[in-house]
Structure 1
């Protein structure tokens, strides 16, 4: 498990600037490491893997209706459809329907209309990318 991390705490409490700084630090760490992020790269012993931290932070942002934190995270993190659905469920449960609707478009919009990014260096499983900007 590894417990909570700075990224998760910052996401939970809506500290968008801190979230952005942590994301930049991590990107820098990974580029310094030549793109390979082994679990030991600057991680505290037993700290949860970065990908996992991003997912938890994303869900914290959803629970708290923090669209700006979600946008900061989405710069580097593309949730899978199941993560988006969970995020939307959490946002809805907490009463943040506008955020939930951004995560999972209303049924009238076909899911096919969303752009799908295929990063060259990642698994072939398609991940959905949400378009940020005004509604």
Structure 2
């Protein structure tokens, strides 16, 4: 199955409903792959990282989260995050892998284009990103 069974809540639940025995093989999680491909850490010293979905992004930011790994990103709206930093990746570890990073306002158009290209090339896209409020507290 596509995705990361440790983070996508539906994968193991669906397989269990089938009733047949199955194995879950350990591997590298999508957030680990994102950090490795960008050569970054997901948090700064003394700062937590919050893993969430695009659907929960605004509620989590409103609750005070400002360093987030965002998954299930189809249709994500990043309006209002122009000054935040982003590290984005699609189809990580595959031949059609795409990576972009920078200030959201500077790279959002390129991310949207790269996401569309990855989907057209592979027929699907699995992407995620790290979104971080600037250290100076702007935004």
TM-score normalised by L of structure 1? 0.33
Whose helix fraction is larger, Structure 1's or Structure 2's? 1
The structure where strand makes up a greater share of residues is 2
What TM-score comes out, normalization by structure 2 length?
Answer: 0.32
